[in-house]
Amino acid sequence: MTTGQAPNVLSATMAPMLPISLPAAVDGASRGDAPVLLLTLPRRSLYEQFGKRAIDIVLGSMLALALLPIIAAVAIAVLVTSGWPVLYASERMGRNRRPFLMWKFRTMVIDADDVFERWKLTHPERASALSTHWKLEDDPRRTPLGRFLRKSSLDELPQFWNVLRGEMSLVGPRPYLGREGIEPRLSENIHAVKPGLTGPFQVRGRKELAPRTRMEIEAGYASEVGLVNDLAYVARTVQPLLKMDGQ
């Protein structure tokens, strides 16, 4: 299934299609030097309309129950090592760019904002790079336990709650922040489906992927939604988890 190349998200072989126009901010009327682009997305299949949600509820519930002892252990570890609150909510963009609160175990210190502001004063060049790369190696805000939770991806276990609520799916593009800049032609595809607990980003390279490559790969997921592909993504998530190559 994986070829190592980013999928062509504008493939002419996808059918049937629904036309989607670009926002007015980038159409020909506002930019005379740029041609008007017409994006196309496949119509939602019966699986995407009904089966995918059923899989999220049934398989998501089974996995959440099986992992409940680990979830409880991580919650206690966070509470003991760094206090309350145990969970952290981050606003992300869901299907059709609808915002929702994505839950994670807290991996940063309580006064993370103050710590970050002090860090930016002493590291201006690295702080400037964060405008395009939102990941920071050796983040001074992370707790010792938080570093382990990030690498092992255990901090993402509370997102099963988002899956059961219908805000996320077990499989899909990763949940993007509203401030992350995505080209309109890629954004239409990425946000045509619910973000996922796992998906192309997690199994095709994770942090080794350049931001542009990652977005192109995730944009291609909208054209490959299907039961077999989704179950394959879930199964293939085990290997990167065991490698502990989270960010």
Predicted confidence (pLDDT) per residue in 196-229, tens digit: 999 988 888 776 777 788 889 999 998 889 999 9
| Count: domains in the chain | 1
Burial class of residue 41 in the structure, from the number of CB atoms within 10 Å of its CB (0-12 exposed, 13-18 middle, 19+ buried): middle
Assess if residue 179 is contained within a domain.
yes
CA–CA separation, 9 and 189 (whole Å)? 8
Q: Read off the pTM.
A: 0.75
Domain of residue 216, residue span: 17-30+42-107+142-243
pLDDT in tens, 86-125: 999 999 999 999 999 999 999 988 876 676 677 666 666 6
166-202 burial by CB neighbour count: b if 16+ within 10 A, else e? ebbbbbbbbbbeeeeebeebbbbbbbbbbbbbbbbbb
